[in-house]
Structure 1
Amino acid sequence: MERLSSSTARTQLVLRQFRKHRLAVWGGRILLVLYLMAAFAGFFSPYDPNYYELYPPKGNHPPTRIHFVDPETGRLSRPFVYATKRSIDPVTLQPRYEEDPSQGKFYLRFFVRTPDQPYTVFKVFRSDLRLIGVDPPGRIFLMGTDNFGRDLFSRIVYGGQVSLTIGILSALVSFALGLLLGGIAGYFSGRPFALSLPPRAWRGWSGVLGLVGLLLWLAVAAGVLFLAWSFVRLSPGKGVFSLAVDGVVLLLGFGGALLILWKVFREPLKLDPDDLIMRTVEIIAAIPSLFLLISLRAVFPTNIDPLITFYLVVGLLGFIGWGGLARVVRGIVLSVREMDYVQAARALGASDGRIIARHVLPATASYVIVSLSLTIPGFILGESGLSFLGLGVTEPYTSWGLLLQAAQQGGFASFTDRPWVLWPGFFIFLAVLSWNFLGDGLRDALDPRRRR
């Protein structure tokens, strides 16, 4: 009971400190609205994101003007819109839309049914109820349309499902890898595993690590042979000297592979998890993140299923983002593992896995919570960048980065003639800024030195 009351008091103190950070509170509120709209995109969007009309065409339609005053009486009226008629500007050759009061008023209606455009909620519940709409043939475009005539507001709401979800899922993948590998690197630092090759006494984790080590060194030997063979295969010369060089390269390749295998099978392999993991982190950190991301994405074909592309982007973003967290967690674990309560648990016979799960990793909770909130916006920007370059999510799905790519294809006219196509950039900016404000507030609330 005493422990429960202490935990409750600590939680109340953290919440009270968080409420003092006004920007963080507003950031949390904005994110709540964005994620609710993304979760129930079908309800909040007036139309299906891929719906458009062939006739009359609505390509690059500006945001619909909503009227609140009846022009006939001059008094406040129920909100309504007019239909529009399309023409071509003779100078710019761009479509031009003008209101057509002759077709009558189309009043805004809430909680409308759209049987021709049903949707599903969480891929489980089927519905056709939408928050706002107008009677046909009227149309309401709150943020205009794209070049195909698809409602931009509906596409932004649905795009939030991808952009916002990828940010969280990629952060979870990154933090799972960072916590696991950083904890192993810190806890087992200075305690190398001796792996006997060929296997003579592989049991438990030693067997798993031994198999991994064997496969690793076999891959290194195969890589040496592949490099030698690639040099010979790509060698353009056909003379005696060229053949002699090719023969020397092949001999060196075979000799190097045999030397690696002889060394591995002759002596036990000592592997320090700390060295292995940290060197991997350094290799990943040495390559620019965007270049590495594009290179890894380019390995896979661009015409694969869009849903597979979604999970592929999640995995790639999570894979390149775990190194920084692993370094910090390693440092925290190196300090925590020398604490008295950890030494006491080890003296009582607790296993390494139990000590890591029950005593070491919980000590990183405060840092992980703050870091998670500050890492998610980076993954949102990463996904937007990939989709903007055409390497991320593809049609029929949409994301904020993909919408920006469509705006970029319009050239300078996107700024002068149809600036509403830049709305996705504003939502990216708003989500990233809100996550940063939220992270700052959580950092201040969870840090005892910052509490007032």
Structure 2
Amino acid sequence: MLAVQPVVLLSDLLIFALVAALALFFVQLARDPLARGRWRSVFESRLGSSAFMVILFYVLLALLDSLHYREPLPAVAETQVADALAQTDETDKQPTIEDKVHYSQQVNSVLDAVLAGLHAQDEKTYSEPFSIYSFARENQTSDDGKVVREFPRLIHAGRHLQQGESVAVDVLQRSFKAVLIGLAMMAALVILHLQWRFRSRSRNRAQSGGDIGSVLPWTTIYITLGVLVVGSSWVLELGQYYHILGTNKVGQDVLYLALKATRTGVLIGTLATLLTLPLAIVLGISAGYFRGWVDDLVQYVYTTLSSIPGILLIAASVLLIDVYIETHQQQFQLTSERADFKFLALCFILGMTSWTGLCRLLRAETLKVSQLDYVQAARAFGVRHGRIIGRHILPNVTHIILIALVLDFSGFVLAEAVLSYIGVGVDPSMASWGNMINEARAELSREPVVWWSVAAAFVLMFILVLAANLFADKVRDAFDPRSAG
């Protein structure tokens, strides 16, 4: 019997599908010399490779947080079962001692297990980063019996310290240990990778069209990966003894919540972006290529949709989802299932209301490309419309799609924060940067200010959005014909 019960949410399946699609993309990239040549300039750039490594790290966190399970509840003692047997009516079916295992309603993930040092050390209320005392004074009784208001010692943070030991010295010592462990792990990875590169160098040189791996800026990649590995080692080591970014109002570790919110940011940016693509591509290219009544109809649709205030439309749709959840509670046995349903509905709503901008761009570009001589010649020779669009139109607008894909990802990550801030975002039980910022509104008005919750959400969101934007710039430079040379 399994020690835990696996739980598969619909969003988990989607992120697994996204990771599989990413792996398939690299496999196809290695087999296609033309595509490999186009992407070479992106990945051989130091900035592009470094940004891509950061994005992959966020995806890894999201993947670990998508492996869900439920832990079994403590088994009932045999004496309690025997008493239950004695009290049961003889005519009823007698329960057995070896009853089935019951599982907790709390759904955890592999990331929770990795961050157990942060997750399982809740305090009473606020505490500052690396502090061993609470942020608020409480009534305490002194040794002589007097009641005084002092900052109480935290339950978990710094409990290993003896009286008089310095927090700063202990943090420096443990940081030094964590950095050494991270550097040792990174050195092992680099050595193994260098050996693999040395053994495969001759084979890569023999391949036609070259290989992306032979031109990658490996020094930059090693440095970026080293920073991520050493940083992760430092967080895992120090998180067992201190609250690195403090705690929130109910005593939860802020760094843990910020890392858990990574899955929400990555998924909402990716899923909402992918939902915009089919509508934008089909309608935009159709309007620019066929023109006439098709163009008029598409323009009418996206003009009408753009005339509706986006926030109001999204808020109304989210409220309808809330009403559906409240009236169909029997469909959601777990809190995580309800939160997952609302989350996917929000992704769908964002995708269905955000395709108009890309549609306009594709329509305008298709109008221009469709007037080129070779496209006109193909139409004059009676080539089917689908073949013309697939062979001549779509390849010439791919750079716009790729650039919009990455930029829209950044926009949706920021949009989730804004929507959660006004109360129409993801479910409050789901960790997200928007929920953290929303909860920090009252904290920023305190005296003294509780700044670390909003700072943690801002920094992690800023890094992801910045990496996505930098990667989008390199994709634009590589695929936009006007930026060549």
TM range (shorter): 0.5 to 0.7
What is the Cα deviation at residue 140 of structure 1?
3.7
Q: Is the 8 A contact 2:246 2:254 kept in 1?
A: yes
Match of 2:259 among 157, 163, 166: 157
Counterpart amino acid of residue 125 in structure 2 = G
Q: For 1:96 and 1:88, how far apart are their aligned partners in 2?
A: 11
What is the Cα deviation at residue 388 of structure 1?
1.7
What residue number does 1:362 align with? 395
**1:193-212 map, 5 Å:** none
Determine helix, strand or coil for the equivalent of 1:398. coil
Q: Is the 8 A contact 1:17 1:451 kept in 2?
A: no
Alignment partner of 1:33 is 2:57: yes
Q: Is the 8 A contact 1:285 1:323 kept in 2?
A: yes
Q: For 1:158 and 1:88, how far apart are their aligned partners in 2?
A: 26
What residue number does 1:184 align with? 286
Match of 1:392 among 402, 405, 425: 425
Alignment partner of 1:328 is 2:361: yes
Determine helix, strand or coil for the equivalent of 2:243. coil
What is the Cα deviation at residue 154 of structure 1?
2.0
Q: For 1:364 and 1:415, how far apart are their aligned partners in 2?
A: 53
Match of 1:169 among 271, 275, 280: 271
| Shift in CA distance, 280/348, structure 1 to aligned 2, threshold 3 Å | same
What residue number does 2:129 align with? 63
**1:29-428 map, 5 Å:** 29-41=53-65, 46-47=114-115, 51=119, 57-64=123-130, 84=132, 88-89=136-137, 97=154, 99=158, 101-102=161-162, 139-190=241-292, 272-301=293-322, 304=325, 305-346=338-379, 349-413=382-446, 416-428=449-461
Q: TM-score if structure 1 supplies the norm length?
A: 0.61
Give the % identical residues.
Answer: 27
Q: For 1:331 and 1:135, how far apart are their aligned partners in 2?
A: 54
Q: For 1:377 and 1:296, how far apart are their aligned partners in 2?
A: 22
What is the Cα deviation at residue 89 of structure 1?
2.0
What is the Cα deviation at residue 11 of structure 1?
4.1
Listed one character per residue, the Cα deviations across residues 239-268 of structure 1 (whole Å, up to 9, x for unaligned) are xxxxxxxxxxxxxxxxxxxxxxxxxxxxxx
Q: For 1:93 and 1:375, how far apart are their aligned partners in 2?
A: 49
Q: Is the 8 A contact 1:143 1:153 kept in 2?
A: yes
Determine helix, strand or coil for the equivalent of 1:381. helix
| Shift in CA distance, 415/374, structure 1 to aligned 2, threshold 3 Å | farther
Q: Is the 8 A contact 2:419 2:434 kept in 1?
A: yes
Q: Is the 8 A contact 2:128 2:245 kept in 1?
A: yes
| Shift in CA distance, 284/391, structure 1 to aligned 2, threshold 3 Å | same
- Higher-Rg structure is 1
More strand by share: 1
Counterpart amino acid of residue 62 in structure 2 = A
Matched residue pairs, number? 328
Q: For 2:260 and 2:266, how far apart are their aligned partners in 1?
A: 10
Listed one character per residue, the Cα deviations across residues 104-146 of structure 1 (whole Å, up to 9, x for unaligned) are 99978989xxxxxxxxxxxxxxxxxx9775799x644332222
Determine helix, strand or coil for the equivalent of 2:162. strand
Q: TM-score if structure 2 supplies the norm length?
A: 0.58
Q: For 2:447 and 2:427, how far apart are their aligned partners in 1?
A: 21
Q: Is the 8 A contact 2:440 2:453 kept in 1?
A: no
Please tell me the root mean square deviation across aligned C-alpha atoms, in Å. Answer: 4.0
What is the Cα deviation at residue 14 of structure 1?
5.2
Q: Is the 8 A contact 1:27 1:434 kept in 2?
A: yes
Determine helix, strand or coil for the equivalent of 1:273. helix
Structure 2 unaligned regions, length at least 5: 1-28, 66-108, 140-148, 183-231, 326-337
| Shift in CA distance, 13/314, structure 1 to aligned 2, threshold 3 Å | closer
Counterpart amino acid of residue 150 in structure 1 = Q
What is the Cα deviation at residue 415 of structure 1?
7.0
Counterpart amino acid of residue 402 in structure 1 = N
Structure 1 unaligned regions, length at least 5: 66-83, 112-129, 191-271
Counterpart amino acid of residue 279 in structure 1 = Y
Counterpart amino acid of residue 363 in structure 2 = R
What is the Cα deviation at residue 18 of structure 1?
6.1
Q: For 2:280 and 2:271, how far apart are their aligned partners in 1?
A: 14
Determine helix, strand or coil for the equivalent of 2:322. coil
Determine helix, strand or coil for the equivalent of 2:388. helix
Q: Is the 8 A contact 1:163 1:383 kept in 2?
A: yes
| Shift in CA distance, 357/414, structure 1 to aligned 2, threshold 3 Å | farther
Q: For 1:317 and 1:417, how far apart are their aligned partners in 2?
A: 32
Q: For 1:24 and 1:346, how far apart are their aligned partners in 2?
A: 39
What residue number does 1:261 align with? none
Q: For 2:321 and 2:428, how far apart are their aligned partners in 1?
A: 17
| Shift in CA distance, 169/87, structure 1 to aligned 2, threshold 3 Å | closer
Listed one character per residue, the Cα deviations across residues 187-215 of structure 1 (whole Å, up to 9, x for unaligned) are 2212xxxxxxxxxxxxxxxxxxxxxxxxx
Match of 2:41 among 16, 25, 32: 16
Q: For 2:305 and 2:359, how far apart are their aligned partners in 1?
A: 12
What is the Cα deviation at residue 407 of structure 1?
1.6
Q: For 1:85 and 1:425, how far apart are their aligned partners in 2?
A: 25
